[in-house]
Structure 1
């Protein structure tokens, strides 16, 4: 639109257009500044006794890891969702997987861990935890749920995990965010993209993807797209019938399927 045309428009309309543009830019700035508050929802730890907590000090934070110690070669490391208290898994996991030492990592800001969560910080913390566990247990299975699948797959592409299990996984958080906030240039705003698809081709250990039939958070197309990124023969995909994104762990098949992948 030329300046001449603009000058012919009623002044009030020009003011409205300027106000709308300013509001849109303000919303973009707010989305950029507060985006991590829309991704991470820190939860306190419900189970925290001296024999169920491992304190892991890293460069710039002190992490809390809910644990069930067990002597032997096998261990399981679990990364939870963006609003999950991972300690609540401890009783069921301990009973279902008696031969595994269990390590459930509380992200920064979650469950007594210090610091603020971000994709890169969590990825570094995951490496530190794996190295600590691997020093005592040479067979480490890595499990992630929802947001944690992005942490798990990246870790498994960088460390010698023996198994990888992804529960309600996605191909990319960027894809999901762009779908939810279609009116904003999410590609240019999002810091933590959790691009799981780029790591899938580097995975060589047996991998199990577990999807919920009625997942209203992670589109099935995103899970299928991720599944297609793995080298043929590396990954298998199972769907838990009748389950939703948040109710999947209530299914009687949930722990059975995780156990089948260990």
Structure 2
């Protein structure tokens, strides 16, 4: 006759089963709600009447601003997550008086229609580049991407003839960043929107400036290091020791370095 399982052993197996169920439930919740947890457009929304530029993508109208219109050269700015890009208008207009600057809110951000997701943001960014290229003919088109926007900018640089590229607080991939912040989650298997800048820049050998914040708590230094180490050509790197992830553009050294890089 088989011996009955020890009560303590039964409790142990029951606790393990509950832990596994809780872990699976947490993973399922993160997977199903990941875009709501990843993108933060809520604080950026505004009425379309406050914009002066739009790009019709068929399934959505994207809206933003054009600064210094009529210049031969252009610059595309892709902002960070939760960033209201109109807040950069005064800076960018003053920094780049010889370039027409395009600020376009991502889907679901600002006054743009739709909802954000990686593939759509990438396609929208290429459409903006193509629009600028058609408008500026032989003019040069530079791209600046900040934080999440560095992932968008990296994709554009891998797909289009970007003249110069500036990445502010960039990362190697969003998967790697997420894994660092949530080591208990299998981020590699869960994330749909991956923003693999290391892969997208594998074929980009043009001029590149990387701006990193010494007190960045959002993008760990290791993620920026891996991006830099994997580039086909060593970039220029500006380190701002006292800057945080959100205060980079408050540092005069950032303005000087970026304007000089895009002017040279």
Query: TM-score normalised to the size of structure 1?
Result: 0.91
Q: In structure 2, how many angstroms separate the alpha carbons of the residues matched to 1:46 and 1:55?
A: 14
Please list, as runs of the form range in 1=range in 2, the aligned pairs for 1:226-237 lying within 5 A after superposition.
226-233=227-234, 235-237=235-237
- Other-structure match for 2:24: 25
Label 1:8 to 1:110 Cα distance change in 2 as closer, same or farther (>3 A).
same
Q: 1:102 aligns to what SS in structure 2?
A: strand
Please list, as runs of the form range in 1=range in 2, the aligned pairs for 1:235-254 lying within 5 A after superposition.
235-254=235-254
Structure 1 residue 33, shift from structure 2 partner:
0.8
- Other-structure match for 2:58: 59
Query: TM-score normalised to the size of structure 2?
Result: 0.91
Q: 2:44 aligns to what SS in structure 1?
A: coil
Q: 1:103 aligns to what SS in structure 2?
A: strand
Matched residues, number: 257
Structure 1 residue 119, shift from structure 2 partner:
0.9
Alignment RMSD (CA, Å):
2.0
Contiguous gaps of at least 5 residues in structure 1: none
Q: 2:113 aligns to what SS in structure 1?
A: coil
Q: 1:70 aligns to what SS in structure 2?
A: coil
Contact 1:213 1:240 in 2 (8 A): yes
Contact 1:168 1:223 in 2 (8 A): yes
Structure 1 residue 218, shift from structure 2 partner:
1.1
Structure 1 residue 28, shift from structure 2 partner:
0.6
Q: In structure 1, how many angstroms separate the alpha carbons of the residues matched to 2:233 and 2:56?
A: 38
Q: 2:200 aligns to what SS in structure 1?
A: helix
Structure 1 residue 35, shift from structure 2 partner:
0.9
Label 1:174 to 1:24 Cα distance change in 2 as closer, same or farther (>3 A).
same
Alpha-carbon displacement from aligned partner over 1:205-261 (angstroms, at most 9, x marks no partner): 21110111111111112112111222235x211112311111111111122121122
Contiguous gaps of at least 5 residues in structure 2: none
Structure 1 residue 154, shift from structure 2 partner:
0.8
- Other-structure match for 1:75: 74
Label 1:7 to 1:122 Cα distance change in 2 as closer, same or farther (>3 A).
farther
Q: In structure 1, how many angstroms separate the alpha carbons of the residues matched to 2:102 and 2:186?
A: 38
